[in-house]
Amino acid sequence: MNYVSLKENSIHKIDNNERRIVAMNKYDYLVVGAGLFGATFAYEAKKKGKTCLVIDKRDHIAGNIYTKNVHGINVHEYGAHIFHTSDKKIWDYVNQFAEFNNYINAPIAAYHDETYNLPFNMNTFSRMWNIRTPEEAKAKIEEQRAEYVAEMKKKRGIPTDAEFEPQNLEEQALSLAGRDVYEKLIKGYTEKQWGRPCTELPAFIIKRLPFRFTYNNNYFNDRYQGIPEGGYTQIIEKMLAGIDVRTGEDFFKVVGRDEPTPKGNVGQAQAIAESESLAAEDFPDDELIINPHAGVLSDGTQILFDKILFTGQIDQYYDYQFGPLEYRSVRFETEELDTDNYQGNAVVNYTAKEVPFTRIIEHKHFEYGTQPTTIISREYSSEWTPGVEPYYPVNNDKNNVLYQQYEELASKEDDVIFGGRLGLYKYYDMDKDLMAALEVVEREL
């Protein structure tokens, strides 16, 4: 079989034996990834009359915001997601797909047998130092901070009136917060999260520490915040209503790239373009258009598409030709417990390095559940290796320089659009991911 696109925008394949034309699946966009970015693009594209096929290698839609209802509890399968934004347009946009509750993210930090409120605020400082006023808290932080900076200046022979420049994350945190806050609430958690000592992490990871000298446990400063009642999956389901979606489909296998190669579906595209059977005399000149993108789904369905929206790893798309970018991954241990309330809070961070997991999520508290049992998830941060699910990029200087090389390749693409945290190698909160998708929609559609 060979493939052509006729000007009336229907796609046909030519059976060389019977010389008959048979309709097949044709799309304007192949959207790779059924998460928030890909679903938003597909939803807006459909509104503008474009056709999309959305594929995802997982067996479900919604990407990392996927929630699964288990005995009435909406479980955040890939970690806690709290939607928050200060942009009213984004808040109004997402609220058209679900009704949000008034959940406020107020995590707890457990350090051995001590419990602290996060983010760092007057409740934290009062518990740590048995103080009551903002003035006392500021004085204590400044005392410890100044003591550490003076010690480091003396050690390095830096004049007392010269500025101290931290060389790593530990020095940065100690120079901003002092020893107590660093040792109890930053050091162990950060080292577990990044898989290396704070002395080996760059200082810029902590540009500033969000100290609040009020008794306010709200983790976010954004105007709007909440959890969709009924979970996040429904949002993506509504976005993708009426759009062709195929889960369990690996993009690289679909386009004939079991092993990623630097460019898209080169083999199939060339086979189509170079086929001798598609002679010009078979069709009038103004009706013959060769489509450069073709693929085959796992059930044998053949597809053609004009453009690709790719939300997977940009380095994988280009066959890691400049080397792999670094990511962090997360492993989850989820279990249902025969108790109605395990920890009294949705999110509890475990900041001691001796505790192997970074935090425990108790899912029912996101929606104020009253079920007789509860479901918890322990999160373990780990290094990413090929074959493991990447969760967020490691945006240090080395990786940012490497990403710029891939970004340069992407800028030369006419028919491939990259998006999302993996495609753009950028950590996104959900509102920023949604905003970035809408910006692509505005440029592209």
DSSP strand E in 210-275: where? 224-226, 244-247
Give start and end residues of each alpha helix (H) in 380-429: 397-411, 420-423
Q: Quick one: which of 244, 249, 238, 235 has its CA closest to 56?
A: 249
End-to-end CA distance of the chain: 32
Which one, of 422, 430, 417, 431, lies nearest residue 390 by Cα?
422
Q: How crowded is the C-beta side of 46, counted as CA atoms within 13 Å? A: 18
DSSP secondary structure code for residue 6 in this structure = -
* C-alpha angle 58-94-82 in degrees, rounded to nearest 5: 70
Question: What residues are annotated to the active site?
Answer: 208, 212, 328, 359, 379, 427, 429
Helix (H, G, I), strand (E, B) or coil at 204: helix
Q: Is residue 282 exposed (0-12), middle (13-18) or buried (19+ Cβ within 10 Å)? A: middle
d(CA 346, CA 143): 34
Pairing of the two strands 20-32 and 347-350 = unpaired
Alpha helices in 227-345 (DSSP H): 233-239, 251-254, 266-273, 314-317
Rounded Cα gap, residues 124 and 242, in angstroms: 49
